[in-house]
Structure 1
Amino acid sequence: MDFVEIAKEGVTGSVSSVLNIAKIVIPLMIVIQILKDLDILGKLSLRMKPLARFLGISEESTFPLIIGLILGLAYGAGVIINSAKEGNLNKKDLYLVVIFLVACHSVFEDTLLFVAIGANGWLLLGTRIIVALVLTSLTARYIDKILSKRHI
């Protein structure tokens, strides 16, 4: 193979990968915008109250949690910061929501992107959710002690 063939194969493969990713990301962004416009995300956060109790977070924390789960860390962080500034989240809630989202964020987009390159989506999603639940619930048991010792 000469350089031209290698470059052609690299460009073709890269364009193909970008198009596969775009097929997933663009429709997902449209659906997310529709969900936001119809306030379905707000209604969904109300249904997350049992999860909030399990994770040891307040009910006010469910909206930033659901945003981070669906939209990812960048957008979720903006909602978390805004909620904290408005006084809707205390330090315990902030830590627990962030811990959960570190392990499990942007579940649709990330999972679909990895499926597009050959990963087992159900295994990936299940593992992320289980790890996030275990980490957050364990941290919830000890966070009051941790926060009181560190004076954070």
Structure 2
Amino acid sequence: MSSPFGKFCRELLVEIRTVSFTLFRIMIPVILVVKLLELLGGVALLGKMLAPLMALVGLPESMGLVWAATMASNIYAGMLVFFTQTQQDALTVAQVTVLGAMMLVAHGLPVEARIAQKAGVRLRATLLLRIGGGLLFGWLLHLAYREGGWLQQPNMLLWQPQAQDSSLGGWLLMQGKSLLMVQLVIVVLLTTLKILRLIGVERLMFWLLQPLLKLLGIGGQATTITIIGVTLGLSFGGGLLIREAQTGQIPKRDVFAAMAFLGLCHSLIEDTLLVMLLGAHLSGILWARLAFSLICIALLTRWMDRRSDGFQHRHLIYRE
């Protein structure tokens, strides 16, 4: 007869293997395809397409390439491109905050949109929400800072990147380190969640978050998805998010609402600190982003409830 501890460890190892396989099966092919597109000039082309839109949010056209790199890869890539732009020294704090806010809403889309798709959200809904949401949020911030005359002082960089190995070998090494970090996060996260579930803390978190989730129109069963995404982000917590969504215990409507909220507002700690290194102000990249996300999802869920099931399945909820 096995001991409770032995059973705990076996169940945990099975969960870690399942979640890791699910996530890496998505991440590795997508990372390779994005790198190929980058080598073929796809990111530069996307930057040119976005350049005219930058005027809407009060930014120079060159910042289109920064946002393109961020959307195609991740925030780190966008930051590195930002430092290559000759106009970055002339930007105001307000402009960098607008750019940073857009980067936070729409980044890592090839990986994160696929994670959302596996969880049950249609690809076009994710892209519309995040790219459109990023532009709308950037425009609103730009208007607020311009009309209020706030943060118009020259931007001061808080960090300068070290020289990067741009060779294929250097890129492979960097991706390998990133994947190992993801694996470590999965192990720590699953172990912590299993312990919290055993001692009853998970139920306490459900109870504490219920008022907020109710305001957003998200069912209480999606609490775990929301907590993981808000704290760790969609890439790190992706495998677990997919597993939670595919258990069938959470209504598809609530999965969509939770993933939509996380699309606009996830990884509140790490990503926010990263963008602050560019000189972005906390008022826009944290507090305004949180308020924008809450309002958007509260409106979105109420709009969803007025749509038929057929409409939701055609345009919002993805069925594999």
Same-fold call, TM cutoff 0.5: yes
8 Å Cα contact 1:96-1:140 kept in structure 2? yes
Select the structure that is richer in helix: 1
Counterpart of 1:91?
91
**1:27-46 to 2 correspondence within 5 Å?**
27-46=29-48
**1:3-152 to 2 correspondence within 5 Å?**
3-83=5-85, 87-89=86-88, 90-92=90-92, 93-116=95-118, 118-122=119-123, 123-144=125-146, 145-148=149-152, 152=155
Identify if the C-alpha distance between structure 1 residues 119 and 99 changes in structure 2 by more than 3 Å, giving closer, same or farther: same
Runs (5+) with no aligned partner, structure 1: none
CA distance in structure 2 between the partners assigned to 1:91 and 1:3 by the alignment: 57
Code of the aligned partner of 1:91: L
Deviates more, 1:45-54 or 1:13-22: 45-54
Give how far 1:5 is off.
2.6
CA distance in structure 2 between the partners assigned to 1:146 and 1:100 by the alignment: 18
8 Å Cα contact 1:112-1:121 kept in structure 2? no
Code of the aligned partner of 1:25: M
TM-score by length of 1: 0.81
Using the aligned pairs only, state the percent identity. Answer: 15
Give how far 1:71 is off.
0.7
Code of the aligned partner of 1:143: Y
CA distance in structure 2 between the partners assigned to 1:137 and 1:47 by the alignment: 18
User: Any idea what SS the aligned residue of 1:76 has?
Assistant: helix
CA distance in structure 2 between the partners assigned to 1:125 and 1:21 by the alignment: 20
Write out per-residue CA displacement over residues 31-72 of structure 1, whole angstroms, 9 at most, x where no aligned residue. Answer: 111112111211221122332233232111111110011111
8 Å Cα contact 1:45-1:66 kept in structure 2? yes
CA distance in structure 1 between the partners assigned to 2:142 and 2:16 by the alignment: 43
Give how far 1:16 is off.
1.2
TM-score by length of 2: 0.42
User: Any idea what SS the aligned residue of 2:79 has?
Assistant: helix
Give how far 1:125 is off.
4.0
8 Å Cα contact 2:69-2:78 kept in structure 1? yes
Identify if the C-alpha distance between structure 1 residues 151 and 30 changes in structure 2 by more than 3 Å, giving closer, same or farther: closer
Code of the aligned partner of 1:74: Y
CA distance in structure 1 between the partners assigned to 2:126 and 2:40 by the alignment: 29
User: Any idea what SS the aligned residue of 1:57 has?
Assistant: coil
Give how far 1:88 is off.
2.6
Give how far 1:105 is off.
1.3
CA distance in structure 1 between the partners assigned to 2:130 and 2:81 by the alignment: 22
Code of the aligned partner of 2:37: L
CA distance in structure 2 between the partners assigned to 1:139 and 1:95 by the alignment: 8
Write out per-residue CA displacement over residues 102-146 of structure 1, whole angstroms, 9 at most, x where no aligned residue. Answer: 122112212223444x25244444333343222200122243421
Write out per-residue CA displacement over residues 62-115 of structure 1, whole angstroms, 9 at most, x where no aligned residue. Answer: 1111001111112211211332xxx23332443322111112211221222344
Identify if the C-alpha distance between structure 1 residues 127 and 47 changes in structure 2 by more than 3 Å, giving closer, same or farther: closer
Runs (5+) with no aligned partner, structure 2: 156-320
